Amino acid sequence: MKNKIETLRASKSRLQLGGGEQAIAKQKEMGKLTARERIEQLLDPDTFCEYDLFIRHEAREFGMENKELPGDGVVIGTGKIYGKKVAVFAQDFTVVGGSLGYMHAKKITKIMDYALNMRMPLIGINDSGGARIQEGVNALAGYGDIFYRNTLASGVIPQLSVILGPCAGGAVYSPALTDFVFVVDGISKMFITGPEVIKTVLGEEIDMESLGGARVHCETTGNAHFFARNEAECFQQIRDLIKYVPSHNEEAVSSLNTDEKISKKIIDIEQIIPVDPTKPYDVREVIREITDDGEFIEIQELFAANIVIGFGKMGGKTVGFVANQPMVLAGVLDCDSSDKAARFIRYCDAFNIPIVTLEDMPGYLPGIDQEHAGVIRHGAKMLYAYSEATIPKITVILRKAYGGGYIAMNSRHLGADFVFALPTAEIAVMGPEGAANIIFRKEITAAENPAEMRKIKVQEYKDKFANPYVAAGKGYIDAVIEPNETRDYILNALQLSENKQILSPKKKHGIPPF
């Protein structure tokens, strides 16, 4: 027996070295950790349980039949994060560049099946040269099997993708099908076709970092959700997020914690929001006042910053926040911000996370660029996402709520359960300046002093509509509240809507404006 155990231990040690000392040294030179070191940093200590270490690859061409590929270039297993069960795979770049062959894919799909069947979050660490060229269609089939499972698992278990090396070609579509993508500065690279192909086909020149580096995907494309300066920071971000998301879509929702210490938090929003609607402020400060402990995990912080999305805790429960950001483009809605918010709303709805919407925006951004970029389609995504969401939906109008934006930001008309407004709220078809110029044009141009007349008319419009009382008078707003009462009203609304049930019309699924 002793001999057998020793043989097992020796085999495991050899296989766990992956591509060997030299390949590991090369990995380190690139500033990267090995697959196993990554898993170790990500999970609670001593919780990782590895499977399929002894798998053998099936490549039989180009001399591959004589090669041993430890673990076939991927490490799979289960472990815990803050005591919560998770499933994980990490591609091992030290073994043929972490390239995806048939058995490599089989390992990934096995752990995906575990995660889905046993209802736990799946975390995939990608570091790979893509489809293993020597395996041909078998490698492509492997990708297809993964994409299929990503889609089946979507909305059932949280799926997180971590890009810690190259992720090229069709390989990028697995992360794109998952809920949250994490990238690290200088290490992550994602693209469909690399610089060489682009140069050959189009004659365009670009380096890998500028084409598909971490910043590009966080700031420009919106493909990534979390930006980290190094791998350690990235793993901490993942661990933090796991604290906020349920393990699956049917996880029992706990009741709100009404403990005095939590429910009686004193807040000061009054000093954050300027009464002058043209003055900006950071809406994240408002969110931090509202959450239990001032914590807020922001998602896609660097993309479409005119809208803020993320998770916080209220009464001990996870709440999704969607808030216009007056600091960026006055918080206007546009293609990217609508796209960003709509996806997040659907995420919250799928996982039974209530949404708090904080509204302060002048409407949809006008312009040829926006129209031609499809602001109609992208803007409609928000209408669709809010309307179809059946989770508790609470809106607080902080200041401006103009035009289509008023409707889109979870208005009563899209099914909001509670709508509150601060006394600074202005609810109208458009801002007073624009409105006065249109409806009083004749009076203004005919006046002896048009500038003076414009001022009078703008004021007249402001007095009439730039307040919350017209909407409150029609019942579109449930209560006009003091700024510092905001948290209490939201907490109460969350508690009241804990057992909310909505009967949606029977259908297979809707057709959102993707």
Positions touching ligand HXC (CB under 6 A) are 96-97, 99, 129-133, 140, 143, 166, 168-171
d(CA 170, CA 45): 34
Determine the Cα–Cα distance for residues 299 and 310; give it in Å rounded to an integer: 5
- On whether the CB atoms of residues 362 and 332 are closer than 8 A, the answer is yes
How far apart are CB 67 and ligand HXC at their closest, in Å?
Answer: 9
Residue with Cβ nearer ligand HXC (77 or 129): 129
Least gap, CB of 138 to ligand HXC (angstroms): 12
Least distance CB 56 / ligand HXC (angstroms): 17
Query: What's the min distance (Å) between Cβ of 387 and ligand HXC?
Result: 34
Say how far residue 194 (Cα) sits from the centre of its chain.
26
Per-position DSSP letters for 41-110, written without gaps between them: HHSPTT--EEE-TT------STTGGG---GGGGEEEEEEEETTEEEEEEEE-TTTGGG-B-HHHHHHHHH
Q: Which is nearer to ligand HXC, 129 or 331 (CB)?
A: 129
Conformation bin of residue 222: beta by default, left when phi > 0, alpha when psi is -120 to 50: left
Distance CA 492, CA 472 (A): 19
Taking residue 466's Cβ as centre, other Cβ atoms within 10 Å add up to 22
Of 26 and 413, nearer to ligand HXC (C-beta) is 26
CB 53 within 8 Å of CB 15: yes
56-59 LR contacts (CB < 8 Å, sep 24+): 56/103, 57/101, 57/102, 57/103, 57/104, 58/101, 58/102, 58/103, 58/135, 58/138, 59/101, 59/102, 59/132, 59/134, 59/135
CB 54, min distance to ligand HXC, A? 22
With respect to ligand HXC, which residue has the nearer C-beta, 8 or 197?
197
DSSP reduced 3-state for 484 = helix
| Pair 345, 415: CB distance under 8 Å | no
DSSP E strand stretches across 84-179: 84-91, 122-128, 159-168
Cβ distance to ligand HXC smaller for residue 146 or 391: 146
For ligand HXC, the closer CB: 170 or 512: 170
Backbone angles phi, psi at 317, to 5 degrees: -105, 150
Q: Which of 29/46 has CB closer to ligand HXC? A: 29
Q: How far is the CB of 149 from ligand HXC (least distance, A)?
A: 14
CB of 185 to ligand HXC, least distance (A): 17
- Which residue's CB is nearer to ligand HXC, number 99 or number 325? 99
Q: Give the nearer residue to ligand HXC in terms of CB position, either 199 or 264.
A: 199
Q: Smallest distance, Å, CB 166 to ligand HXC? A: 4
Cα separation, 245 vs 350, in Å, equals 11
| Smallest distance, ligand HXC to C-beta of residue 140, A | 5
Instruction: With CA atoms as reference, report the closest residue to 179 among 325, 299, 41.
Output: 299
